[in-house]
Amino acid sequence: MEQWKKLTQALADPESGWPRIASYLRQRAGIYYRKSWSQCGEDLILRYLFDLLHIARPSYIDIGAHHPWYYNNTYLFYRQGARGVNVEPDPALHAALRRGRRHDVNLNIGVGPRSAELDFYVMSQRTLNTFSAAEANKYVDQHGLRIVETRRIAVQTFAQTVDAHLGRTPDLVSLDVEGLDLDILRSIDFSSYRPHVWCVETVSYAEGDGSGIKSPDINALMLENGYMLYADTYINSIYVAASSWSALGTRR
């Protein structure tokens, strides 16, 4: 009876019923695995963390979303019925997000330390698109990539984007903007905007040879602003607000 109740509850969920049904059937068949859409399984770590925080459907802002699901840290939550904002400056990639994430807010802008209109460098490897001329030139000089085109793209601050399109501080922020991550973090008033969890790219680009350099400045800034390092996949670091983590003890 209890198993039937769980199945009917999953069927009644219009947004996330089918993924839950698939998970239920896999477990009934003795198949215990979860699929990840992130680069290094970050979404599964995030899912586990939000389960600990008792947040079933975290709101999110995905800055540098790139693709609806490929190497995407928020698609797992989208499939489970969560909703949020995806920020993607590349018009072609933004169009794909509009098709693949129709229930999210999809913005064809950038997020930066200040409101402006900036040059956006579209690289031959589009996962490395950037607003940073220094980063773009490094990819050309050191990695043999090409700048396919340069576009003028509107940029908003983190606060402007959250206030205008989400209306409240998100539970999760995924940040991957190739060269501006630290500047964006430095521009945020953490006393006013304190997401429970951040997933931040904290290593420089390398061609799979282990030569990428971790950013101690990002880690120091997050710790100074009341976050603790929960997990690290080397490419991305996952931070949880110390206040959110300490509140777990009161729920037991």
Residue 143 within a domain: no
**pLDDT at position 12 over 50:** no
Q: How does pLDDT run across 94-122, given as a tens digit for each residue?
A: 999 999 999 999 999 999 999 999 999 99
Residue 101 within a domain: yes
Q: Is the same domain home to 1 and 114?
A: no
Q: How does pLDDT run across 39-56, given as a tens digit for each residue?
A: 999 999 999 999 999 999
Q: Is the same domain home to 87 and 10?
A: no
| Cβ neighbour number for residue 112 with a 10 Å cutoff | 22
Residue 4 within a domain: yes
Q: What is the mean pLDDT of residues 9-15?
A: 47
Render the burial of 32-59: b for 16+ CB within 10 Å, e for the rest.
eeeebbbbeebbbbbbebbeebebebbb
Give me the pLDDT at residue 136, please: 95
Residue 44 within a domain: yes
Q: What is the mean pLDDT of residues 70-92?
A: 97
Domain count of the chain? 2
State how far Cα 117 lies from the chain centre: 23
Give me the pLDDT at residue 166, please: 95
Give me the pLDDT at residue 71, please: 95
Name the DSSP class of 251.
Answer: G
Q: Is the same domain home to 94 and 177?
A: yes
Q: Is the same domain home to 44 and 6?
A: no
Q: Is the same domain home to 108 and 204?
A: yes
Give me the pLDDT at residue 109, please: 98
Residue 43 within a domain: yes
Q: Is the same domain home to 237 and 176?
A: yes
Find the domain containing 22 and state its range.
1-33
How far is residue 168's CA from residue 195's CA, in Å, rounded to a whole number? 10
CATH number of the structural domain spanning residue 45: 3.40.50.150
Q: Is the same domain home to 12 and 73?
A: no
Question: Which is more confidently placed, 28 or 65?
Answer: 65
Instruction: Categorize the per-residue pLDDT at 8 as very low, low, confident or very high, splitting at 50, 70 and 90.
Output: low
Give me the pLDDT at residue 226, please: 98
Q: Is the same domain home to 71 and 19?
A: no
Q: Is the same domain home to 19 and 61?
A: no
Q: How does pLDDT run across 198-251, given as a tens digit for each residue?
A: 999 999 887 766 678 899 999 999 999 999 999 999 999 999 999 999 998 765
Q: What is the mean pLDDT of residues 26-39?
A: 81
CA-closest candidate to residue 68, choices 98, 39, 24, 43: 98
Residue 128 within a domain: no
Give me the pLDDT at residue 14, please: 43
| Cβ neighbour number for residue 143 with a 10 Å cutoff | 14
